[in-house]
Structure 1
Amino acid sequence: MSTYLRVGFVLLFVICTVVVVALWQGLHSFVFAWVLNFMLMLGVLYITKTFKPKLESTYYNAKEWEAEGKIYKWFGVDEFRKVLVWIGWEKLNKASSPVKKNLDALKHLEYSTRQSEFGHLVIFFIVAIFVLSVAFYCGAIQSLWLVLLNIILNVYPIGVQRYNRPRLRKAIHRFEGFHKDRQTNNPKNI
């Protein structure tokens, strides 16, 4: 089966599930907001894992105002990370892709932060469209679950990726520098 056909089936499944839950529970319900976010995560994850976009935009570089992650700490990203550990999310992630102490593993982990951030960013904007639609047609209060879950399930995970990426890049640069120094000091290279 072709890659595009498989992606099409996954997206059809996501859309059908979201529509069924919307008809069953309504656009303003917690169940709809939860299912929408997780179905979008499934779809976006499948697409990014299938097509593996390079994601080399300068957007993924830390900005000056993000230095040392102070802004993210102020918004509670550290506490959110602790919650992820507490509920077992970090353990689940480490089981599926264990962290090894080599350059390729660090580079893969850094790429994974870009991939995760890209996915959550796409989902954030799709959910934001639902938020605006529900707020416009049903009232702002009716979109409360969508707003709340969009912040918890997308904004904070984006913050976690932006908080972690500079640290990973620093470790990669140190690792590369260490290996470069070892190669220049190796007698075989002389």
Structure 2
Amino acid sequence: MILFTDTLKSQLTSSYFKDKKWERRGKVYEGFGINLFRKFLVLIGWEKLTRKTNPIENNTKSLMNLYYQTKKSELDHLIILLIVLGFNVFVAFKFGVVKSLWLLLLNVLLHLYPIFLQRYNRPRIERAINLSTRK
């Protein structure tokens, strides 16, 4: 999926990526336990791994790149989430709902929560960009 979105070369300017009023500046995601998910990612070393390949420097250009990467990552996870959800529905009909639950659980953990995380982080990154451009 990453190859697809890398090839796409879009700036991802759709209004879909804008912070929505109902997200309440991330409070919705905090209610879904996004901070626990963030701690889990640090615990398993994911944060360290991603920072090694995409380091964040203390400048506006780096923040703008990170902002774009959140959109790209969200799109990647959204596409995969929808594909796996299709398989999930198929498995539920073919083999029963109980046998499809593991697929649903993995889809939520591996794709829905990463989408939540990108949507949670992006407004904060945007505020940091705005602060850094005011200097």
Say if 2:57 is the partner of 1:100.
Answer: yes
Q: Distance in 2 between matches of 1:81 and 1:164?
A: 11
C-alpha displacement of 1:48: 1.6
Amino acid at match of 1:151: V
Alignment gaps of 5+ in structure 1: 1-43, 179-190
Task: Find the partner of 2:7 among 36, 41, 50.
Answer: 50
Alignment gaps of 5+ in structure 2: none
Q: Distance in 1 between matches of 2:88 and 2:115?
A: 19
TM-score w.r.t. the length of structure 1 is 0.69
C-alpha displacement of 1:103: 1.0
Instruction: Please give the root-mean-square deviation of Cα atoms over the aligned residues, in Å.
Output: 0.9
Amino acid at match of 1:156: Y
Say if 2:61 is the partner of 1:79.
Answer: no
Structure 1: 4+ residue segments shifted above 2 A? 49-53
Question: Percent same amino acid among aligned pairs?
Answer: 47
C-alpha displacement of 1:123: 0.5
C-alpha displacement of 1:71: 0.7
Q: Distance in 2 between matches of 1:88 and 1:47?
A: 26
Q: Which has the larger radius of gyration?
A: 1
C-alpha displacement of 1:45: 1.1
Q: Deviations over 1:127-160 (max 9, x none)?
A: 0100111111111111111100000001100000
Partner of 2:98: 141
* Structure of higher RCO (CA pairs closer than 8 Å, 6+ residues apart): 2
Query: How many residues are aligned here?
Result: 135
Partner of 1:12: none
Q: Distance in 1 between matches of 2:8 and 2:14?
A: 17
Partner of 1:155: 112
The secondary structure found in structure 1 opposite 2:103 is helix
Amino acid at match of 1:57: S
C-alpha displacement of 1:102: 0.9
Task: Find the partner of 1:68 among 17, 25, 29.
Answer: 25
TM-score w.r.t. the length of structure 2 is 0.96
